């Protein structure tokens, strides 16, 4: 059922048609396995000398993994790196720095307890005669760097005292100080203001002029086209295509990122939507340091309804789910389930009432890696398998066998370790866990993240079936096509608030994107209908 063209790396033909830009670094056939997932599957990637090489893809497409291999953080399971045409192995980040590869990580790697200068020269201190740090020289160089970045930060400012955007600038200064030939920037602008982005772009152009090759990762698509020279698209750990930025536009990128129209793979089945099942009123979660992570959210979920929740990273969607599941203490507001007001405030209490959260991060929040498939599945519902005080092996086995069959989990033996399963099957185990607690409302946070296409459609199939059986399903997705195909109704969140509500029949991608940008002051997408036009009320 998958479309054939998606897998063929078309890189060879597209590159030859261009003026021959020189390739400084090349990754050939990169494969990286993690327990349970194939993060990269034979990916080729070219870095052109003195250009900005953009890498795009959805979350879980493998961008960060690929970058971490280039930076020596991970070793590839298979594949070869070529630097200036010569095969190289990059043993560790220090080795990468020695070979002229610098990286600015997505998650910041600064020491908040040290000052700006100390951070910039961490592990590469300038010294007087090997032992004593040459503070004067370091300060002079730090000042020069910060001036180049047009920042008013002082070298002896404590990093903890800087704004996030400023910290990002320090991170950039740190990479610049290493005189990298190749500079990897993993979402460098995610925390920057517009003015700071402008400065960053000027610096990047500067670097290019000095022959530095930049690898640039970002989710902000219009930004990519503004700064990029070459665009490489990854999807589900595979290379989709590589093209010069001049030949493409935003819609091409989206198409390549999302690939085949997901709507053709999984279609929300028609099912009866019943009475109100879950009612939420004024749910609010204060943020440490002022403001709200979840800002007075109210909505209703009906029986048999799939209610999609769309939004950007940090819009408060996962936090909303955590409030509903009882994870977040300190949340206020009222919740009714089946007409009864929910008073239990703990995870345990909410599970008993029938609300179960399937978390976004399977590895961190969903599974106990030291336990078997069966033990993981049964963990939330152990009480059901008791004969008096003793767990009955027979009852346990029955439940496991039924769940495995019900969700067609591919597992040779339920007693094998959970980490030996593929990502998609692990996700099914997490869903199975939830179903065994006999929930009424399922809270699925990015249930399709990081799993392959076939598993995705299976998960969606299961969601449709469950909705048909009368479960109420709330589900978060950052993938527009998925959420449009699967949801009966869609809520859009931005900055903790619900900024849009759409019925399945009338929702469009543009509507969702516009509503998700409310309050961000971002550049509006081409159709220009960003703004408050979709406020619910």
Among 124, 410, 520, 526, binds another protein (CB under 8 A): 410
**In whole angstroms, how close is the CB of 18 to another protein at the nearest point?**
34
Indicate whether 76 belongs to the interface with another protein (CB under 8 A): no
> Which residue's CB is nearer to another protein, number 216 or number 471?
471
CA distance 83 to 85: 5
Neighbouring CB atoms inside 10 A of 143's CB total 15
**In whole angstroms, how close is the CB of 374 to another protein at the nearest point?**
11
Among 475, 472, 484, 466, which residue's Cα sits nearest to residue 444?
475
State how beta strands 52-56 and 230-235 pair. parallel
> Which residue's CB is nearer to another protein, number 199 or number 379?
379
> Which residue's CB is nearer to another protein, number 36 or number 304?
36
DSSP states along 224-262: HHHH-SEEEEEETTEEEEEEEGGG--HHHHHHHHH-S-H
Among 217, 256, 262, which residue's Cα sits nearest to residue 7?
256
Region 389-408 residues binding another protein, contact defined as CB under 8 A: 389-391
Q: 77: burial class by Cβ within 10 Å (0-12, 13-18, 19+)?
A: middle
Write out the two tokens for 222: 């219009």
Q: Which stretch binds another protein (CB under 8 A): 149-157, 180-188, 252-260, 372-380?
A: 372-380
Indicate whether 238 belongs to the interface with another protein (CB under 8 A): no
Region 304-343 residues binding another protein, contact defined as CB under 8 A: 325, 327
Among 114, 254, 417, 522, binds another protein (CB under 8 A): 417
The separation between CA 102 and the C-alpha centre of its own chain, rounded to angstroms, equals 23
Q: Which stretch binds another protein (CB under 8 A): 254-262, 296-304, 375-383, 517-525?
A: 375-383
> Which residue's CB is nearer to another protein, number 119 or number 376?
376
**In whole angstroms, how close is the CB of 425 to another protein at the nearest point?**
10
| C-alpha atoms less than 13 angstroms from C-alpha of 310 in its C-beta half-sphere | 31
Place of tokens 């099912």: 271
**In whole angstroms, how close is the CB of 396 to another protein at the nearest point?**
10
Indicate whether 219 belongs to the interface with another protein (CB under 8 A): no
> Which residue's CB is nearer to another protein, number 151 or number 318?
318
Among 19, 132, 270, 383, binds another protein (CB under 8 A): 383
> Angle at which helices 194-209 and 164-177 pack, to 10 degrees?
10
Among 368, 454, 503, 523, binds another protein (CB under 8 A): 368
State how beta strands 340-341 and 52-56 pair. unpaired
Among 6, 77, 190, 529, binds another protein (CB under 8 A): 77
Q: Which stretch binds another protein (CB under 8 A): 192-200, 208-216, 260-268, 348-356?
A: 348-356
Q: Is residue 233 within 8 Å of 240, Cβ to Cβ?
A: yes
Indicate whether 364 belongs to the interface with another protein (CB under 8 A): yes
> Which residue's CB is nearer to another protein, number 219 or number 449?
449
State how beta strands 497-503 and 441-445 pair. unpaired
383 backbone dihedrals φ, ψ, rounded to 5°: -60, -25
CA distance 212 to 229: 13
DSSP states along 304-368: T-EEEEEE-TTSSHHHHHHHHHT--TT-EEEEEETTEEP---SHHHHHHHTEEEE-S-IIIII--
Indicate whether 344 belongs to the interface with another protein (CB under 8 A): no
Sign of the four-CA dihedral 456, 458, 460, 462: negative
CA distance 81 to 92: 14
> Which residue's CB is nearer to another protein, number 380 or number 496?
380
Region 38-57 residues binding another protein, contact defined as CB under 8 A: 38
Q: 321: burial class by Cβ within 10 Å (0-12, 13-18, 19+)?
A: buried
Among 1, 209, 412, 505, binds another protein (CB under 8 A): 412
> Which residue's CB is nearer to another protein, number 2 or number 346?
346
Among 94, 122, 126, 386, binds another protein (CB under 8 A): 386
Q: Which stretch binds another protein (CB under 8 A): 7-15, 171-179, 244-252, 364-372?
A: 364-372
Indicate whether 369 belongs to the interface with another protein (CB under 8 A): yes
List of residues contacting another protein (CB under 8 A): 33, 35-36, 38, 77, 325, 327, 346-348, 351-352, 357, 359, 364-371, 375, 378-380, 382-383, 386, 389-391, 410, 412, 417, 419-420, 422, 433, 437
């Amino acid at each position: 059922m998958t479309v054939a063209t998606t897998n063929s790396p078309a890189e060879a033909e597209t590159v030859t048609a261009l003026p021959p830009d020189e390739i400084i670094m090349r990754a050939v056939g990169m494969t990286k396995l993690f327990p349970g997932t194939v993060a990269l599957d034979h990916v080729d990637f070219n870095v052109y000398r003195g250009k900005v090489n953009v890498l795009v893809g959805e979350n879980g497409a493998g961008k960060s993994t690929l970058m971490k291999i280039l930076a020596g953080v991970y070793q590839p399971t298979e594949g070869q790196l070529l630097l200036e045409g010569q095969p190289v192995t990059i043993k560790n980040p220090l080795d990468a720095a020695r070979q002229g590869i610098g990286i600015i990580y997505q998650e910041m790697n600064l020491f908040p307890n040290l000052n700006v200068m100390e951070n910039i020269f961490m592990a590469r201190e300038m010294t007087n005669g090997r032992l004593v740090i040459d503070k004067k020289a370091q300060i002079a160089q730090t000042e020069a760097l910060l001036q180049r970045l047009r920042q008013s930060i002082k070298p002896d400012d404590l990093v903890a005292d800087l704004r996030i955007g400023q910290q990002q600038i320090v991170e950039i200064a740190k990479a610049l100080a290493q005189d990298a030939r190749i500079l990897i920037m993993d979402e460098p602008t995610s925390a920057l203001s517009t003015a700071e982005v402008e400065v960053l772009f000027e610096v990047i152009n500067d670097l290019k002029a000095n022959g530095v090759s930049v690898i640039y990762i970002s989710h902000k698509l219009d930004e990519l086209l503004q700064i990029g020279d070459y665009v490489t698209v990854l999807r589900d750990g595979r290379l989709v295509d590589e093209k010069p930025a001049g030949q493409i536009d935003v819609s091409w990128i989206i198409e390549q990122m999302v690939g085949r129209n997901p709507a053709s793979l999984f279609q929300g089945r028609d099912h009866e939507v019943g009475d109100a099942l879950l009612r939420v009123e004024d749910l609010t979660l204060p943020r440490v340091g002022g403001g709200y992570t979840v800002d007075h959210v109210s909505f209703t979920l009906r029986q048999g309804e799939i209610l999609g929740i769309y939004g950007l990273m940090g819009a408060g969607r996962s936090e909303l789910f955590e409030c509903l599941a009882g994870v977040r203490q300190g949340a206020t507001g009222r919740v009714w389930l089946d007409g009864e007001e929910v008073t239990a405030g703990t995870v345990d209490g909410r599970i008993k009432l029938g609300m179960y959260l399937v978390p976004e991060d399977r590895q961190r929040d969903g599974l106990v890696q030291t336990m078997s498939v069966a033990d993981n599945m049964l963990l939330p519902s152990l009480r059901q398998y008791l004969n008096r005080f003793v767990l009955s092996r027979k009852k346990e086995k029955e439940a496991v066998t039924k769940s495995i069959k019900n969700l067609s989990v591919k597992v040779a033996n339920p007693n094998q370790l959970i980490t030996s399963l593929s990502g998609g099957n692990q996700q099914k185990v997490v869903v199975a866990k939830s179903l065994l607690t006999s929930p009424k409302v399922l809270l699925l946070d990015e249930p399709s993240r990081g799993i392959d296409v076939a598993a995705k459609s299976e998960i969606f199939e299961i969601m449709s079936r469950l909705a048909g059986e009368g479960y109420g399903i709330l589900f978060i997705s950052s993938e527009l096509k998925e959420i449009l195909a699967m949801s009966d109704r869609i809520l859009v969140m931005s900055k903790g608030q619900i900024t849009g509500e759409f019925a399945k029949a009338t929702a469009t991608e543009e509507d969702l994107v516009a509503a998700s940008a409310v309050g961000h002051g971002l550049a509006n997408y081409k159709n220009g209908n960003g703004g408050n036009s979709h406020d619910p009320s």
